[in-house]
Structure formats: C-alpha cells, structure tokens
Structure 1
Amino acid sequence: MVDTQFKNPLLKAFLEEIEHLELYRQYCKSPNEWLKKIIDERFVQFYIRIRAIAYFSKIIYFTARHFDMERRKYEKRYVLTLDSSSNDGIGSKNEGTGTLKELIVDESATINFHERLNHELNQYIQHPLLYKAVQSLNKRQQQILYLAFVMNISDTEISKKLNVTQQAISKSKNNALAKVRRLINA
C-alpha cells in the first residue's frame, strides 16, 4: 500500500496510515499549498507522537534497569541470614556449599499446622453473649462450628474428617447456629 520510493522508516510509518496516504496521493495528483500544509501539520503531529512514545519507552526501560540494579545491589549487600552460605569455616571444603535454610530439619513439618492449633471455638469468641451461647452447645456442635468457621472447612471435608455423612454435618451445624441465634435473641 505504501509507495516503495520511501526508504525512511519514519515516512513509511507515516504513510501506512490510510488517511495520510490518501492526502499524499492527492498532493501528488494536484500539488497545492493547502494540501502541503495539511500533510506537514499531520506529519508534525505524527512525529511528536512517535517521539513521545520513544521517550517514554526509554524512560521505562532505564528506570526498570536502574530499579533492578538497585534491588540486586541491596540483596547482595543485605543477604537474609537463612540465604547466606552455611560454610562457617568448620569441616571439610565439601561441606557448607548450601544455604542455612537447607540445613534446617523440621520433623514436625509433617504434622498439619491446623492440627496443632487449639481446637476450642471458645478461644476465638470475644463477645460475652455469643460466648455464653456457644458454651451451651455440646462438644460435637462446637467442634463442627470450629471446623466450619474458624478453619473454613467445607461440610464435605468435615464429614470425611469426622466419619459421618455430609447431611449429618449440615444438620448439626444448622441446629447449632439456630440454638445460638435463639440464645442471643432471648
């Protein structure tokens, strides 16, 4: 579509826009000052837009490079203790090639974190009236409410954990909530 007589990439890009190309073709057919002035104004606007895009692209590029260099310099200067080398000069040269983080052995990592938490729903209630209402529930209802609302476990998962049906969990939870509502509204 663009005439092949132009080798300048800026002119080629300018003439790739259909409106500019039509103006140029009209000027070639019948040259006059009015068309020349319009083409010149459009080219100036196009050039300013291209320069602005190039300017912002360079700013973004160099700002990102500067940020990355500063971040790397900071990370190199302030290495986290666990990320530093475990080589403390003791032992053979083959030892200590890893980080301190790799040397940490945690046998309790196999225990689920949530299982180590206190399973008492009462520990999470601050409102005195609600606390009293929850105290009136049986242990199973308290356990179901704890798993559902504190641990955010679905009824299906609770039923698997407690070896009962999902319907039984749902019914027990709804009964417990109804009882709590009655006691609070009384």
Structure 2
Amino acid sequence: MDKKLPLKSTEIKNPLIKGFLENEMNRELYKKAIYDFTEENKRLVEDAFAEYYERVRRTAYFSSMIKFMGIDFDKKLRKLNNRFMLTLDQPLKTETNEGSTMKDMLIDSAAPSLYEGDDTLSSKISDKKLCEALERLTQKQAIVLEMIYVKELSNKEIADIFQTSPQNISNTHKKALKKLKTLMEGDL
C-alpha cells in the first residue's frame, strides 16, 4: 500500500469523522480495518461509528430542544408578565409623564431629601420656567438630577444610595431630561 491514509484526526476535514477518530479506541479500530482488512474489522468500525453518530445526533437533538424550549419559556413568561403586569409597573398615560410608571412616582424613604443642605437644584437655576418644569418632575427624578448636577455624584454612587443599578439611574436621568425638554418647549 503506497497511498498514505489519514489516521491523525488533525488531517481529516470532516468534523464528524474527526470527532470519531479523536477517541483512541475508535482510531485503533480504524487502523486495524485499514491495515488488516477483514469483514469483521470493517463491521467493528461501522458499528463503532454508528454508535458514535447516534450519540452525536442525540446530543444535537437535546441541545436544540433545550434551546428552543428556553426561547418558548421566555416568550411565555414575557407574555404573562405583560398580560398580568404589576400595578406599579404599568405606564402612566399623561401628557407630561411619558414612559413613567407608578413605581417612579413613589417616594423612597431611603433616598436623601431634595432640601437637605443649602445647595439645591432650584437655588442654582435663575430661569423661572425651568424652575416650574423642575417642580413637575417626580421626586425621584428631581433627586437624581440634583445628585448629578449639584452634588456631582456618579450614576454608580447614586445607584448605591438608592440600592438599584446604575442603568436604572441613567434611565431616570434620561427620562427627567426628556420631560424637562418637553415641558420647556410646551406651555407647562
């Protein structure tokens, strides 16, 4: 036999065969079938490959099933959460509170008061229209703005005070600025 056969799994391109030959026992069966060709050796390699192939198919099937069951579960959970939304998570439908929820309107007793200390956001602003717009923000939005612009705290520091995530503080900040912009462009 002058033709060299690929016995190393690195020489083989097909991932299924490569995986089969990575097993030492399967590689030895393959070598034996090539160099000592008998019907028995051929049958042993075919049986070993059939068993390996079935194992791969089962693994792929269950992996796919787990993935799609997870996606379906997530869809059902989101559908249920949207259908039976908690009262505090429902969006408010007013002109000035776009995107706000009842939860945003609640006063957090752990949050520092707007009026602690001498420096407040209202005392720093000379524009009367902007002061009136600030008064129409939720308490949480006003506190977050004051902490950012007067106390010069980072989102992380504010999140630690409110015991929430910096992303929630960033969202509250963005909603407050958007609401201020809407109020300033309108007639309050």
**TM, length-normalised to structure 1:** 0.51
Match of 2:53 among 44, 47, 54: 47
**CA separation in 1, counterparts of 2:86 and 2:28?**
63
Q: Which residue identity is paired with 2:96?
A: N
Which 4+ stretches in 1 moved above 3 angstroms? none
* Higher gyration radius (CA): 1
* 1:79 counterpart SS class: coil
Q: CA deviation at 1:86?
A: 2.5
Q: Which residue identity is paired with 1:29?
A: Y
Q: Alpha-carbon deviations, 1:83-130, whole Å to 9, x = none?
A: 01133x3xxx333532101111254x58xxxxxxxxxxxxxxxxxxxx
**CA separation in 2, counterparts of 1:64 and 1:17?**
32
- Residues 19 and 101 (structure 1), Cα distance of their counterparts in 2 relative to 1, 3 Å cut: same
What is the aligned partner in structure 2 of residue 100 from structure 1? 102
Unaligned regions of 5+ residues in structure 2, if any?
1-7, 112-188
* 1:86 counterpart SS class: coil
What is the aligned partner in structure 2 of residue 2 from structure 1? 9
Unaligned regions of 5+ residues in structure 1, if any?
111-186
For the pair 1:64 / 2:70, whether they are aligned, the reply is: yes
What is the identity percentage for the equivalent residue pairs of Structure 1 and Structure 2? 35
Name the count of aligned residue pairs: 104
The correspondence of residues 9-158 of structure 1 with structure 2, limited to 5 A, is 9-87=15-93, 89=94, 93-107=95-109
Q: Alpha-carbon deviations, 1:127-170, whole Å to 9, x = none?
A: xxxxxxxxxxxxxxxxxxxxxxxxxxxxxxxxxxxxxxxxxxxx
**CA separation in 2, counterparts of 1:83 and 1:61?**
29
CA RMSD, 1 decimal: 1.9
Q: CA deviation at 1:73?
A: 1.1
**TM, length-normalised to structure 2:** 0.50
